[in-house]
Amino acid sequence: MAVKGLGKIDQQYDGSKLRIGIIHARWNRSVIDALVTGAIERMKSLGVLEENIIVETVPGSYELPYGTKRFVEKQKKMGQPLDAVIPIGVLIKGSTMHFEYISDSVTHALMNLQDKIHLPVIFGLLTCMTEEQALARAGIDANHTMHNHGEDWGACAVEMAVKFGP
Ligand SMILES: O=Nc1c(NC[C@H](O)[C@H](O)[C@H](O)CO)[nH]c(=O)[nH]c1=O
């Protein structure tokens, strides 16, 4: 029996009154696009209106923490506050330590951001050792060995916003 993973959804949460932001990096774009689509489609299946899913981009994963903070602040200032935000990035190990430093610092920054902006910040950063690992976690590898993790992130955003929203 498979142990790892979110498993079946134990409850459907009603996203029809939610406004959710997605902010994604533009590195490794084919994987990013699959993850973003997965998150959007799952949120729509939970009732979130398409016009209430706001998508923004940043150059790379390193820009996600600051970009997420400003994205949320600007939506609030426009009088259209978000109920949750999903930063999405794909880091793939190269030949230097760049991967390790960005993965670790961005993970901690996104975790700590929640207390600063008082909003659920879903962890949508893939930290992969190979391209194959990234493709698999977006559900677009040749053998479709895994489900699209973006779907989990969409469901997580709806649940956290419904349960712990303002
Ligand atoms: O290097 N690899 C990656 C990367 N580097 C760029 C970095 O995030 C940032 O945009 C620049 O350093 C400029 O600040 N960004 C990613 O999202 N994935 C990677 O795999």
Which residue out of 91, 97, 105, 129 has the highest number of ligand 1 atoms within 8 Å of its CB and is therefore the one to mutate?
A: 91
Q: Quote the CA–CA distance of 7 and 134 in Å, as a whole number.
A: 20
Known catalytic residue: 108? no
Q: What is the pLDDT of residues 55-70, one digit of tens each?
A: 999 999 999 999 999 9
Amino acid at 79: G
Sequence-ordered list of residues with C-beta below 8 angstroms from that of 153, at least 6 positions apart, any chain: 35, 38, 39, 86, 88, 122, 123, 124
Residues in the chain: 166
Q: What is the pLDDT of residues 77-125, one digit of tens each?
A: 999 999 999 999 999 999 999 999 999 999 999 999 999 999 999 999 9
Ligand 1 pocket at CB < 6 A: 25, 27-28, 59-63, 89-92, 98, 102
Instruction: Give pLDDT, residue 47.
Output: 97
ipTM over 0.95: yes
Distance 83 CA to ligand 1 centre (A): 27
For residue 38, give both structure tokens: 């997965």
Going along the chain, which residue ranges are E strands?
Answer: 20-25, 53-58, 84-92, 124-128
Percentages helix, strand, coil for the chain, rounded to the nearest 5?
50, 15, 35
Task: Tell me which residue has tokens 């794909």.
Answer: 90
Instruction: Give pLDDT, residue 9.
Output: 64
Atom 4, ligand 1: which residue's CA is nearest?
Answer: 60
59: three-class secondary structure by DSSP: coil
6 confidence band (pLDDT: 50, 70, 90):
confident
Percentage of the chain with pLDDT > 90?
90
Distance 91 CA to ligand 1 centre (A): 7
pTM for this prediction = 0.95
